[in-house]
Amino acid sequence: MSGLTLQEIGNIEGITRERVRQILHKELSVEPYLEQIQLNRQNRPHKLTKFIKVCPKCGKIFSGRVKNPEKFTMCTECRKIERRARRTATFVCKNCGKVGTYKTYKKAPTFCSNQCKLDWLHKIVRRKSVSKG
């Protein structure tokens, strides 16, 4: 079966490519196994796309293997930070005027804390009671 990829061997035997790899790993010596793996990699070039880039935000060198390396312009840490920033928005407390942040997929808060909410409600109640009396 030399010269065949793991997928082709799997199709012939009726098992998955991963199971063929496991069997080869268990049964074959190191050299033929490595040759088979190299042949498999040559026949699956979309898995070989390597890239090395410099993150424009932090200057860190990062690399990886993906189908489309053009979409990865930043390192993992900077992408996480940017994702968090996109998911947060700011609001201004109705009572004290403090500026706070919240996650955009949740309802926008109107108060920075429960204490501010209670203080605001007490002010409203006092205003109503003064205006009645």
Q: Please write the tens of the pLDDT for every residue from 47-79.
A: 556 777 888 888 888 777 666 666 778 888 988
If asked whether residues 91 and 126 sit together in one domain, one would say: yes
Residues 111 and 78 placed together within one structural domain of the fold: no
Q: Does the residue 99 lie in any domain?
A: yes
Residues 94 and 115 in one domain: yes
Q: Say how many domains are in the chain.
A: 3
Domain identity same for 96 and 111:
yes
Report yes or no on 1 lying in a domain. no
Residues written for the chain = 133
- The answer to whether residue 123 is domain-embedded is yes
Task: Report the distance separating Cα 105 and Cα 94, nearest Å.
Answer: 21
- Residue 30 inside a domain? The answer is yes
Query: Percentage helix, strand, coil, to 5, in the chain?
Result: 50, 15, 35
Give dist(CA 49, CA 69) in Å, integer.
8
Structural domain for 28, as ranges: 6-45
pLDDT, one tens digit per residue, over 77-114 is 988 998 888 888 889 998 888 998 888 888 888 888 89
Q: What is the pLDDT of residue 67?
A: 63
Same domain assignment for residues 92 and 72? no
pLDDT digits (tens, 9 = 90+) for 3-51: 788 888 889 989 998 998 888 777 766 666 677 777 776 666 555 567 7
The torsion region of residue 97 among left (phi > 0), alpha (psi -120 to 50) and beta comes to left
**pLDDT score recorded for residue 15:** 92
How much is the pLDDT for 61?
A: 84
Q: What is the Cα–Cα distance from 94 to 108, expressed in whole angstroms?
A: 12
The per-residue pLDDT for 1 is 58
Burial class (CB in 10 A: 0-12, 13-18, 19+), 36: buried
